[in-house]
Structures are given as C-alpha cells and as structure tokens.
C-alpha cells in the first residue's frame, strides 16, 4: 500500500503524465481509505480546473446548505 507521501506524489504526477494501471489502482486503493489524501486530490483537481478556466465541482453536501 502507498504511503501518503507516495499518494500525493502520484496525484501531482498525474497532472503531467498518464499513470500506469498499477499506479492508478494503488492510488485508488489508498484514497478509498485515506480521507486526507482524498481531500488533497479533490483540492488539486479544483485548482487545475480553476487555472484552466473551468468551474470546480461543489462537493458540499446539500444538507449542509439547508441549515443556512
């Protein structure tokens, strides 16, 4: 299993190159159980979208919005 350091490195690298099947599988396994890395990946995706002019997806739960 990947360490968090290895997982975040792969998340950075996938912005520059396609990951191999084994890298993708290892990263998917790690992020399925590591909330910190999963959130880091979402933040990286949002940053990439903002920098390319796309609107990032809203990950907020709709139940959080109803309380306001």
Q: How high is the pLDDT of residue 36?
A: 97
pTM of the model: 0.73
Domain boundaries, the chain: 4-53
Instruction: Check if the beta carbon of residue 66 is closer than 8 Å to that of residue 41.
Output: no
pLDDT value of residue 54? 76
At 3, is the pLDDT very low, low, confident or very high (cuts 50, 70, 90)? very high
Tell whether the torsion through CA atoms of 37, 45, 26 and 38 is positive or negative.
positive
Instruction: Tell me the per-residue pLDDT of 13-67, one tens digit each, with 9 for 90 and over.
Output: 998 999 999 999 999 999 999 999 999 999 999 998 898 887 777 765 444 444 4
């Amino acid at each position: 299993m990947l360490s968090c350091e290895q997982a975040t490195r792969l998340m950075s690298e996938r912005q520059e190159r396609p990951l191999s099947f084994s890298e993708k599988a290892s990263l998917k396994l790690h992020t399925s159980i590591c909330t910190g890395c999963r959130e880091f990946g979402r933040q990286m995706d949002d940053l990439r979208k903002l920098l390319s002019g796309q609107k990032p997806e809203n990950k907020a739960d709709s139940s959080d919005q109803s309380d306001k």
